[in-house]
Structure 1
Amino acid sequence: MHYNYEYILVRYGELTTKGKNRRDFTNKLNRNIRTALKPFTKLEYKVTYDRLYVILNGEDAQPIIDILSKIYGLVSFSPASKVETNVDTIVETAYNMVKDEPGHKTFKVLSRRRYKAFEHSSDDINRLVATKILKNTDLKVDVRNYDIGIIVEIEEKQTYIMSKVYPGAGGYPTGISGKTNLLLSGGIDSPVAAAMMQKRGLFIEAVHFASPPYTAPQSLDKVVRLAQKLTVNQKHLRLFIVPFTKLQLAIYDNVDESYAITIMRRMMFRISEQLALQHHSLSLVSGESLGQVASQTVENISAINSVTTIPVFRPLIGSDKLDIINYAKKLDTYDISIEPYDDACTIFTPQNPVTKAKLELCEVYESKFDWQTLLDECIENVEIRTLRFNEESVDEENIF
């Protein structure tokens, strides 16, 4: 970025549709932005009705732009310069902003007068800026297919000038819709499901089922790194690590192999629901995609879901696997997810898992062993780690 911008102008997205709740949405978004940008200690902020101005105070704009592009609730943002509302200053600043832009051939000027009493019309400003650029550079005007869009926003005492609009991530600010518990494996799907629900405003806490020694320490490290990727939109993320080995072995000792995955998933959902309710979450999130694997048929999902009383969101249910992979790559979780370390869902994969599980048969198998005692033991020994954006994880004490 060759030009030394002083501001980044942030535009809100779907927040404008929220009526009387709008202030809650914008306040949450502004807090999320400040949290994500906390490492940049020189920044200051100015809030208006429909904008947030990030005052750079000498900070490099590019790493801040990289973070803002991931924040849910933003429709777009632009690096900007603030000048006095004087036509000569406006023209000169716009020219300096684009004169050395490499690799561009065309431009367009779009002026907007928020201060209607300004002596020049928007068309006047457009012509004056364009004339200066045309006379002093090789750039040409193209109002339809332009390389550089110069935006001039005129207010009474100051004018903001921009030459690029970055698309925001859209959606709602994470946390505005409440809190949920994510069933987080080491695979591709669950981090994508989490990100999609964050975009709808849900604050994520994650539950992971570890089965040492059958799952390696690298498997848990992989999950921690996946969870860390989800923290850019949250002040923190708590990861509940459930010691699942004894319960999982009991399932495989007492349940027909074909039903083992279904019964295991029922136990996982029971545990996740209890943790959710203990920590004031009112829903679960899971990464199932209909028909993708044997446990993700309508019949199996129904049998698994029957053990829960709170809503279970499955944002990927109708998604194609290639679409999920592409989303994971954008989220920067794909390369971690494909690391070759098994998790609790993959270490004992049966050869012929049931695809049309019957609820009554699930209940028969569960009646053959004391799963409740083993489940309670899982919850009593949960390890909690708190993850924060750009920080190491912190172990918490067992609080149950």
Structure 2
Amino acid sequence: MGMRQRARHLFLIARVHEVALKGANRPWFMRTLVGNLEYALSGLPHGRIQVRNLRVLVPLSELESWPAFRERLDWVFGVSSYGLALETGTSVQSLTAGLDRLLELTGPPPGSFCVRVKRTNKGYPLTSPELERILGQHIQERTGAPVNLTAPTVTYRVDLLYDRALLTGEEYRGPGGLPVGVSGRVVVLLSGGFDSPVAAYRMMKRGCFLTLVHCHAYPYVRPTSIEKVISIAQHLGRYQPGMRLHIVPIGDAQREIALAAPPELRVVLYRRLMLRIATAIAHEQGAGAIVTGESLGQVSSQTLENMRAIGAVTDLPLLRPLVGFNKDEIMAEAVRIGTEPISRIRDDDCCTVFVPLHPTAHATLEEATAAERLFDPAALVQACLARRTDYDGDPATWDVSAALLAATG
């Protein structure tokens, strides 16, 4: 009871960065951010989320849940930094008492510190530097910690509003970017590899709402890629409410392509098929673009010539957020966002089915178009989509069985 009473005016304070630059659209961006915070923090004890200028305040009823809140805040794009905050009055006496209380809750600074004051109320009788000196001296007398104005271990922030002040201790970096949903919906072609999960993450960071599409060749190969993609989707689903995943079997279509088309063009034709499937789902769901994990020159299908021949089949913008990244950079990002252990599991990529010994690295659009006259691409797309498996709702409930049944049914 004592902790709950002491924490009555305790908040999680989240600060924004890019949202601050959005002018007249800022209220909508902030509403979207609040909705994403509510999704990420569901199940944790907190009060009604509030917006104060460019700060989001989450009232906390207890301090014991703080580690869980810290973990969840790393899932919310649009948050540049966050920390524990106390709400106090604006007098110097109230501010010093609030700092005493904050130090009781969080402990003294583990090293050096400084105080930074930001005054919304420019009519306050003390300037920001004057107040910083007073409050800094108070913390130093109480804790004995040294002051460091250039590279402090902890920065104590004082947001001085008109009717109250917010005191923040140690702050933590958030994921930054834009709130998921403000940039519209995109369809991501998601494989079980390292690249496309990183591309998906980066598009969410730019505010895009994702629909994930995975094309697989089961039962011609093992179902491992399906299992991996479901796990990746569950991992990425922490960042946005309402994640959707569509798993589409294309093995039979690949077999028909392999029987009809020149061997060296098969991989390009497989990828054109997958892009047509993603485009159909995008139109169905009102998505504005297709996203892939392609990196220029990484494999034979990702040369400029092949990328042009593949991308020509969609009428939507084709976004390649990793196009200028090398493999080491992509792997480092996969490690950082937590998808690398899943992607590392060995599987059979669908493009390895019926693959020739020497796939072309320089397909032309004319060659790809001519090869597709030997079969019916539109009919293959429809046949694949007819056997797709759609996942939505709670990602924790998704399993591989429905997709395997659809692929063999």
Give the TM-score normalised by structure 1.
0.91
Which one of 68, 78, 81 corresponds to residue 76 of structure 1? Answer: 81
Separation in structure 2 between the aligned mates of residue 27 and residue 186 of structure 1, nearest angstrom:
34
Q: Distance in 2 between matches of 1:113 and 1:275?
A: 50
Q: SS in structure 2 opposite 1:110? A: strand
Cα drift, residue 378 of structure 1: 0.8
Quote the Cα distance in structure 1 between the aligned partners of 2:224 and 2:200: 22
Are 1:123 and 2:129 matched, yes or no? Answer: yes
Of 18, 24, 30, which residue of structure 1 is paired with 2:28? 24
Deviation at 1:96, TM superposition (A): 4.7
Task: Tell me the equivalent position of 1:167.
Answer: 173
* 8 A Cα contact 1:273 1:284, kept in partner: yes
* Residue aligning to 2:54: 50
Q: Does 1:258 align with 2:264?
A: yes
In 2, are the aligned partners of 1:105 and 1:138 still within 8 Å (CA)? no
After superposition, the CA RMSD in angstroms is 2.4
- Corresponding position: 1:294 with 2:325: no
* Distance 1:225-1:43 versus aligned 2 partners, 3 A rule: farther
Deviations 1:255-294 (A, max 9, x none): 2322110010011111111111111112100110000000
Partner residue, 1:381: 387
Tell me by how many angstroms 1:58 deviates. Answer: 1.8
What is the distance in 1 between the residues matched to 2:108 and 2:194?
38
Equivalent position to 1:231, from 233, 237, 261: 237
2:275 aligned residue: 269
C-alpha distance in structure 1 between counterparts of 2:79 and 2:390, whole Å: 31
Q: For residue 310 of structure 1, what is the aligned residue in structure 2? A: 316
Q: 2:159 aligns with which of 141, 153, 162?
A: 153
Letter in 1 for 2:382: D
Indicate the residue corresponding to 2:227 in structure 1: 221
> Could you state the TM-score of these two structures normalised by the residue count of structure 2?
0.89
- Secondary structure (helix, strand or coil) at the match of 1:345 reads helix
- Cα deviation for residue 359 of structure 1 reads 2.1
Give the residue type in structure 2 aligned to 1:360. Answer: E
Residues 129-148 of structure 1 aligned to structure 2 (within 5 Å): 129-148=135-154
Q: Distance in 1 between matches of 2:226 and 2:352?
A: 14
Distance in 1, Cα, partners of 2:103 & 2:221: 55
How do 1:329-340 residues align onto structure 2 when only pairs under 5 Å count?
A: 329-340=335-346
Distance in 1, matches of 2:329 and 2:107, equals 35
Task: Indicate the residue corresponding to 1:278 in structure 2.
Answer: 284
Change in 2 beyond 3 A, CA 1:43/1:232? farther
Gapped regions of structure 1 (runs ≥ 5): none
Is it true that 1:183 corresponds to 2:203 in the alignment? no
Q: What letter is aligned with 1:108?
A: C
In the alignment, is the contact (CA less than 8 A) between 1:228 and 1:387 conserved in 2?
no
Distance in 1 (CA, whole Å) between partners of 2:127 and 2:23 is 32
Q: Which one is further off, 13-22 or 312-321?
A: 13-22
The corresponding residue for 1:89 is 94
Q: Cα gap change, 1:33/1:307 in structure 2, threshold over 3 Å: closer, same or farther? A: same
State the 1:120 CA deviation.
Answer: 4.2
* 1:246 partner letter: D
Q: Which has the higher helix share?
A: 2
1:387, distance to aligned residue in structure 2 (A): 5.0
**Residue of structure 2 equivalent to 1:327:** 333
- Within the candidate set 6, 11, 17, 1:13 is matched to 17
Q: How much does 1:89 deviate?
A: 3.4
Distance 1:81 1:215 in 2: 57
SS of the residue aligned with 2:352?
A: coil
Task: Look up the match of 1:67.
Answer: 72
CA distance in 2, matches of 1:332, 1:252: 36
- Which has the higher mean CA deviation after the structures are superposed, 298-307 or 16-25? 16-25
